[in-house]
Amino acid sequence: MAEHAGPDVPPAGEPALRTLAMPGDTNPAGDIFGGWLLAQMDLAGGIAAARAAKGRVATVAVDALSFHRPVKVGDEVSVWAELIGIGRTSLRFRVSAWRRPREAEAHERVTVATFTFVALDHAGRPRPVRV
């Protein structure tokens, strides 16, 4: 399990997901809609959880979601998913999203949350995690 980086330094390794914030993803104020960002975090966490569980997973909880900075149109958004806990059928990840403005190299953390996923069998029932 990973030890998470601080608020000013992205986690080590490659992000689970990297995408570009587009004009169609904005709220009425012109910033990127929080729901879009949450969806990107769920995708990234799901990718990491499926790899760790070696199979299908489902999101069952999102805890302690907090937004720190807005994301702007054109920002590169990178999402890291760090495994922080394993239960009998579940995995917990600290998922953090970071923005990188087009004209900069430095990342800024924009949001972080704890996601819980449950490993599922072929019929969609919880199954033991085999990490």
The DSSP symbol for 23 reads: G
The domain ranges of the chain are 17-119
CA distances from 130 to 16, 23, 55, 89 (A): 20, 41, 9, 9
pLDDT for residue 2: 58
The pLDDT, as a whole number, for residue 108 is 95
Looking at domain 17-119, its CATH class is alpha beta
pLDDT at 1 (0 to 100): 63
H helix count then E strand count, the chain: 1, 5
Over residues 51-78, the pLDDT tens digits come to: 999 999 999 999 989 899 999 999 999 9
Confidence (pLDDT) at 47 = 98
Tens digits of pLDDT across the chain (131 residues): 655 556 778 899 999 999 999 999 998 888 899 999 999 999 999 999 999 999 999 999 999 898 999 999 999 999 999 999 999 999 999 999 999 998 888 899 999 999 999 999 999 999 999 87
What was the pLDDT predicted at 93?
98
